[in-house]
Amino acid sequence: MDPVGLTSRWVAAARARESERHDRLFDDPLAVALAGSEGFAWLDHMERAHPWGGPALYVVVRTRFFDDFLLRASWGTGARQVVLLAAGMDARAFRLDWPPGTRLYELDRPEIIDAKDAIAASAGVHPKCERWPIGVDLGLPSWPEALLSADDYDAQEPSVWLAEGLLFYMTEAAARTVLGGASVLAAPRSRLGADLVNRDLLTSPVMWPLLGTFSRRGAPGLFGTNYPEALFTEHGWEAIQPGEREANYGRWLYPVAPR
């Protein structure tokens, strides 16, 4: 598994720790197994290096936010096709209450898909939807073909997309390739959830310790934009930015940074 793929184990470890809390924002019983020793080692290092707790807390709030987004979008719009781009060690297929008939497509590198499939099989868990894991490199322009070749995916029907923890690690060209490919495969009334940082964060001295941690582990942050609305609109998506109060769940207590 390459360094960027290994970040999904750290994210799983953060979900596992959150699931132990009495006031948890979600419960992910599979997260411990998905994280493995590598994920917890990385999480422990992050907590020692960044005692303010921001990186792991960000993952926790982001997870709950996109849980809500995916369920709201699928139940509310009637879309029964869900596409997770760079699914990593995501366990939403196994833990969320999906509408009947939901088909969830998990796209990621073949070695990551194989590793997660092995963990899920060993744990004896079963998805709560029709799960379609697809091994593909999203950095290649041909990745949409892999989804189109999957059984039952219909580009003429609405779909719900998620690019979580992905664009940050891509070059700008690769990020645009992903967004452009998704827009081609998404029918009208489709929804897309994504997280990204602004460009200034990538050069901010305040962020050097955190960015240095990622770089030393072979997963540097590469892409950010100060104009997210323009980026998404350019690729066919109408951008809607949620308000800060909708994205803290009473847990993110730090001041909101200037845009």
DSSP 129-156: SEEEEEE--TTSTTHHHHHHTSTT--TT
The CA-CA-CA angle for residues 62, 129, 194, to 5°, reads 25
pLDDT at 113 over 90: yes
pLDDT at 156: 95
pTM over 0.85: yes
DSSP 96: S
Q: Among 118-132, 183-197, 215-229, 245-259, which is the least confidently predicted range?
A: 245-259
Mean pLDDT, the chain, as a whole number?
91
Domain coordinates of the chain in residue numbers? 3-242
Per-residue pLDDT tens for 173-188? 999 999 999 999 999 9
CATH class of 3-242: alpha beta
% of the chain exceeding 70 in pLDDT? 95
Strand boundaries in the chain, DSSP class E = 81-85, 103-108, 130-135, 160-163, 191-194
Query: pLDDT band for position 248 (50/70/90)?
Result: confident
Both tokens assigned to 210: 């955190």
Question: Where does residue 255 rank: exposed (0-12), middle (13-18), buried (19+ CB within 10 A)?
Answer: exposed
Cβ atoms 78, 42 nearer than 8 A: no
Both tokens assigned to 18: 């959150």
pLDDT at 245 over 90: no
Four-residue CA torsion sign, 21, 169, 164, 248: positive
Q: Among 47-51, 166-170, 198-202, which is the least confidently predicted range?
A: 47-51
Per-residue pLDDT tens for 144-164? 999 999 878 999 999 999 999
